[in-house]
Every structure is written in C-alpha cells, then in structure tokens.
Structure 1
Amino acid sequence: MSLTWRISLKSDEAEGPEDYFSSSLGIIFPDDITNQHGDAEHSLIYTSPHLSKSLLIDLADPVKEDDRKLFSHYLWNASLLLAEFVESDSLGVPLDNPRAAQESLSFDVKGLDTLELGAGTALPSIMGGLLGARRVVVTDYPAEPVLKTLRTNVVRNLQPAISPAGSSTTPADSVLVEGHSWGELEDSFSTTHRHSFDRIIVADCLWMPWQHANLHRSIAFFLREAADARCWVVAGFHTGREKMRSFYDADALREVGLEIEHVWERDCNGVERPWDTEREDDVTERKRWLVVAALKWIQIP
C-alpha cells in the first residue's frame, strides 16, 4: 500500500477546480506521487489503523516571504515515513510494506526522550508521544506562524483518547514546543538541553546545503552521549541529490563526532535499494523516493 494512503484533506468534498485536479492526480498520472500535502487553507487528516482516532494536522500560514521559504506549510512524505516506522517498531506491528533493509535498526521510542529538528507539522513526534515516549520536544525555526501551528498540532493530537489501547501518552508537562535555529547553541533552550535526547528526528530538512554544517552541529549538541543514542534522518529527493549529498559527507560528520550507521533508499510503495549519491532520476521518479539514515557517535565523547 502506498505511503500516502493515510493522509487526506479535512474537507470530504473538493471545493474548487484545483481541489478536484489535485485529488485526481493519482488517476490521471498513475506513476506520479504527491510528495507534499495540504496548505494553510486545508487541514489534513492522518488516519492510522492503530490509533483510536484520526489526527487533525494544521499547516502553517506563512505571513512573511521569509516564512514561506521555510516550506513548513506542507506535510512532506519524509514525515509520513518516519511516523510509520515509529508506529511499527513502538507497537511491534508489521509495516504494510515490510522494511527489508536494515532490520537491526529499531524506531521504537517507548521510554525515550525525543527531539525533532525542523519539525514542520511534528507528525513523527506526535506519533512518538502517543506511543510512549518519555519526553517529546519539538523545534522549528523561530517564526511565530510555524511555532503557533506546532503548538496547535501537539496540544490537539497528543491526547490519551487517541493513543492505541495499552499505550501511555507522553504527559503534557513532558512536551515542549520551542524555536531553534540550527547551529545557534548559546540560547537558554539549547544550553538547558545539551546532550539530553536519546533520539533526534530530522524529516525533510536537507534541501538547504548551506545549512548542513549547522544541522550537524545541532544534532551533535543535543544527542545524548550514549552508545545507543541515534539520530534518524529521512529526506525526499524533490530538490535533487546534489543538494542533499554534503549532509552525508563522512568527513563533515566526523568533525562533530558522528558517523552513518545505516543509509538506504525507500520509495512510497516500500521498494528499497542502496543509497547512491550519483544515481540520476527524472523529476517524476525522484518524487517517489526517500533516503533513510541513522547517525550515531563514532565513539562516546
């Protein structure tokens, strides 16, 4: 089953020509896949067979042009994939499309402290909070429209009534939404949370190569100094491989003490293949694929 089957617009009926066209793309172009979902005018419904209720996800309404350039006003497929991985491993239920590669890598968050960088809608963090994460911290660029939407999504959806039977929801006093600019680590939020998180989540944040070094610094700063601490990074190819490549550079990661434990590619139908920095995809093909990686410490600092 396709990765995108769980997501739909809040409105049951298309309201205009653009809505009708958007909802028909999969029929008109069966090889095409939607890799960004929603807008500020349409909330999204996320439906999982394992949750007691569907999630209602708002999208940020960017006020300034700089806010719009953050692309936080969409839900991207990287967040959908991470949410499914977290759900599958935290509940111990099989994926619709089994993860054949890297079976030794677990996305279980029960009892762990999690941090999401560049969260956008915070879907993976919300899923983690519903499935028993001990603490959930959600961050994005400190633009008020983005943070306001994050707070709304987190408060609305992190509710015990939505969690699966037998799962404990992260308590409200252990959930935080905060602004954070990657690489800026002298503010009170950063200094208070240094090396505090067992798991760091990064979903579709690699389209700005000039920010890769700052993102490396933030990951290393917040990741707990423990052998089993991990950062999960999932990103789509919609801006091309070239813009993503430097994030995975071994020398750049080594500068902050990190290395890649696993990296591979997975498409929206669950097909997997090795990560290849040189592979060429056409525009339609690359919308289907995501690269999944786990980062760990080279050695405990």
Structure 2
Amino acid sequence: MDEEELIETDLFKEPEDFYKEAPKPHFVKYKRKKDTSNNEIELRLVGSSPLWGHMLWNAGIYTAEYLDKHADELVKGKKVLELGAAAALPSLICALNGCEKIVSTDYPDNDLIENIEYNFDHCKGIDRSKAKVAGYLWGSDVTPLFDVQDGQVKEEDKFDLLVLADLVFNHSEHRKLLKTCRESLKRTGLCLVVFTPHRPRLLDRDLDFFKLCEEYGLKAEQKDLDRWHPMFEEDEETTEIRSRIYCYHLVPTW
C-alpha cells in the first residue's frame, strides 16, 4: 500500500470529552418567610433541561411567597392546578397550606415528572393523598387532570386556582395555555400568573398574553410589580427590566 493510501487509525476517534456525563440532579434549600414548623424546603432540581426546569427562578420563589402570604384566601381548602411546575415549589407550598387537592404538572418528560414526584415524596408535612403529579401538554384534553369516573368534568370538579409561574415567555404557547385555563378553571376561581421578562426586547410579546386572555373570557388584573436582583449578569442597560417580577390575577368573566 502506498504511503499516500495509509489511513490514520484515529481519524474517526471521538474527542476525549465527546461522551460527557449528563449533569446530575442537584439540591437547593428554600426558606419560607411564613412562621411555621415546616419553614425550610429542600428541592431537587433536574441536572439539565431544555425547558429550563433545572433552575429555581425568581418568579417561582415570588410565587411561593405570594401563596404563603395569601394562603387563607387562595389556597386553604381549594383545588389547585400548577402548569409548568418544574421543581414544583409553588405546588409544595399549596400542599403545605392545606389545599383540598394539588395537581402539579409539567411537560411529559420522564426526568421532569419523576423529579416532581421526588420533591413531593420528600417534603415533610404534606398529605401525599391530596397531591397528584402528571405530565401534561398545554392545550390538550384536560379530562385526565381530574378524578372523574365517567370522563365528564363538571363545574364542581374544576380548579379554584391555577398557578402559572414564569410561563408567558413561551409566546407560541399562549393560546394553548389559555385554552387549558378556560377549560379547567371554575367560574369562581382565578389564575395566578407571575413572570420575569427574561428577554427585555420581547417584553411587549410577554404582555400580549394579558390582552389575549380576554378572548378566553379572562380579565387580567395586575396585582404587583416588584423588583429583585436579576438572576444573570448581562447587559447593564437591561438590568431594570430583567429585575421586574409581574404578578397578575386572571379572573373569569363567563
């Protein structure tokens, strides 16, 4: 064989770091401001997620604090559904505050759903019989979210409170989210929507969600605009916008 025909044996060899080990789940501790015996929650977060479920976001922490503060009004004795729950901190807070039922959902990815199950199983003070964890695609049939025998969801089966923490950044899914809200919420209930503008130049598109909700019989009421330290150090010119945490109630008008 000519020297020119010799093939380098490691030509197709993968780089040493080609097969990187998947990031492992990690833990964070959340300390509640509420004076209670269960004042610290250890959360397990997935190692990585294209759906950003591997981080505990400011909006999720704000939502947990808001639910603790308004538990008597919004949570105690209520049926609650959380969409896009990630590590499910708001769901856990609802369970600890004596909701009648909590259904905690996220995209039907095994790692995400198993992680939510883990957090419920390892959170002290929760009545596990009142908690359901499920994979759910926004805009799909809501019937599986309810414990109904005949497949018929009645008004009394529906949820008193829907929790949407840091979901409106997903602009293409606005209508699907609102469809689920419309079909699963009681006439006397409300949706709690909290978000941070992660992409400042697209803030108007985030806010379009609250205009679109009118088409689904929901009236948006802004309850708060708080400012926290941004999670990432990026462009200083956008710091103020990225520090914002918006809080809305969506109230049924049907």
For structure 2, list consecutive stretches of 5 or more residues without a partner in the other structure: 1-22, 230-235
Seen in structure 2, the aligned counterparts of structure 1 residues 199 and 148 have a Cα distance that, compared at 3 Å, is same
Supply the distance in 1 between the matched residues of 2:66 and 2:183 (Cα, whole angstroms). 25
**1:199 corresponds to:** 161
Counterpart of 2:187 in 1: which secondary structure? coil
**2:37 corresponds to:** 52
Supply the distance in 2 between the matched residues of 1:156 and 1:218 (Cα, whole angstroms). 29
Q: Does 1:84 align with 2:65?
A: yes
- 1:142 alignment partner AA: P
- 1:248 alignment partner AA: F
Kindly tell me the number of residue pairs found equivalent between the two proteins: 216
Seen in structure 2, the aligned counterparts of structure 1 residues 218 and 282 have a Cα distance that, compared at 3 Å, is farther
How far is 1:42 from its partner?
A: 2.9
Larger Rg: 2
**1:245 corresponds to:** 207
Seen in structure 2, the aligned counterparts of structure 1 residues 263 and 88 have a Cα distance that, compared at 3 Å, is closer
How far is 1:193 from its partner?
A: 5.9
- 1:183 alignment partner AA: G
1:140 to 78, 94, 106: 106
TM-score of the two chains, using structure 1 as the length reference: 0.66
Aligned positions of 1:167-206 closer than 5 A: 169=126, 171-185=127-141, 188-189=144-145, 196-206=158-168
Counterpart of 1:201 in 2: which secondary structure? strand
Q: Does 1:221 align with 2:183?
A: yes
* Structure with the bigger percentage of strand: 2
2:81 to 115, 125, 147: 115
Supply the distance in 1 between the matched residues of 2:198 and 2:142 (Cα, whole angstroms). 33
How far is 1:137 from its partner?
A: 0.7
Cα RMSD after superposing both structures: 2.2
- 1:152 alignment partner AA: Y
Counterpart of 1:114 in 2: which secondary structure? strand
Counterpart of 2:199 in 1: which secondary structure? coil
Supply the distance in 1 between the matched residues of 2:45 and 2:182 (Cα, whole angstroms). 29
- Are the aligned partners of 1:61 and 1:146 in contact in 2 as well (CA < 8 Å)? no
CA deviations on 1:25-58 (whole Å, 9 max, x unpaired) are xxxxxxxxxxxxxx85531011125242421101
**1:288 corresponds to:** 243
How far is 1:238 from its partner?
A: 1.5
Supply the distance in 2 between the matched residues of 1:194 and 1:179 (Cα, whole angstroms). 22
Supply the distance in 2 between the matched residues of 1:45 and 1:122 (Cα, whole angstroms). 13
Counterpart of 2:70 in 1: which secondary structure? helix
Supply the distance in 2 between the matched residues of 1:127 and 1:114 (Cα, whole angstroms). 11
Seen in structure 2, the aligned counterparts of structure 1 residues 85 and 151 have a Cα distance that, compared at 3 Å, is same
How far is 1:69 from its partner?
A: 2.2
Seen in structure 2, the aligned counterparts of structure 1 residues 283 and 193 have a Cα distance that, compared at 3 Å, is farther
Supply the distance in 2 between the matched residues of 1:118 and 1:41 (Cα, whole angstroms). 18
**1:129 corresponds to:** 95
For structure 1, list consecutive stretches of 5 or more residues without a partner in the other structure: 1-38, 63-67, 92-105, 161-168, 270-280
- Are the aligned partners of 1:122 and 1:138 in contact in 2 as well (CA < 8 Å)? yes
Counterpart of 2:81 in 1: which secondary structure? strand
